[in-house]
Amino acid sequence: MEPPVLSTPRLILRPHAVSDFDDLHRLWSHPVVSQAIGLPTPRPDETWSRLLRYAGGWRLLGFGMFAVTDRASGAFIGDMGLFEARRPLTPGFGGAPEAGWALLPEHHGKGLASEALSAVLAWADARGVERTACMITPDNPASLRTAARAGYVEYARTTFHEAEVALLERRRPG
């Protein structure tokens, strides 16, 4: 599937490009981001694999991650979208696409994650996606608030990479 381009009042969500590599590595290597996500800082080759996974998700699954950019300047802000990681979790996501987001810290606290997530979920709802899920560490209150505003509710707690995580789900309205 050809990935769509989504627009919000302040943002453009577009498919990632090879030219996003440096920004993507800066995002995932930022200590605030890696700590909030609970993953180690990636090596450049791991970021490259992430970029390739993003492209592959669209082609193989019909959904994927977007590069979130500032509508006015075109500057890279972060990542947002749906993916399938096949995480070894109990309980798991039950086949639901996983929603994920990460923004560069200088863009935190401005409502941009909620704005972007709303656009992604509206797109998924229009495509008939009945349920999405997400995984958030309990010590990440900003992401928990973003998820709650989007309609996610917690359904389980489990561990991932030896850390406690909350599993949340959202069902398509209607």
Q: What is the pLDDT of residue 35?
A: 79
Q: What is the pLDDT of residue 110?
A: 97
Q: What is the pLDDT of residue 123?
A: 98
Contacts of range 46-53, beta carbons closer than 8 Å, 24 or more positions apart: 47/21, 48/21, 50/24, 51/16, 51/18, 51/20, 51/21, 51/24, 53/83
Q: What is the pLDDT of residue 75?
A: 97
CA 159 to chain centre: 19
Q: What is the pLDDT of residue 163?
A: 86
Residues near 25 by beta carbon (within 8 Å), at least 6 away in sequence: 42, 44, 47
pTM: 0.95
Residue-level pLDDT, tens digit, the chain, 174 residues: 789 999 999 999 999 999 999 999 999 999 998 877 777 889 999 999 999 999 999 999 999 999 999 999 999 999 999 999 998 889 989 999 999 999 999 999 999 999 999 999 999 999 999 999 999 999 999 999 999 999 999 999 999 888 899 999 999 998
Q: What is the pLDDT of residue 84?
A: 94
Q: What is the pLDDT of residue 114?
A: 98
The tokens describing 162, both together, are 């030896």
CATH number of 6-129, picked from 3.40.50.300, 3.90.1200.10, 3.30.70.360, 3.40.630.30: 3.40.630.30
Domain ranges of the chain: 6-129
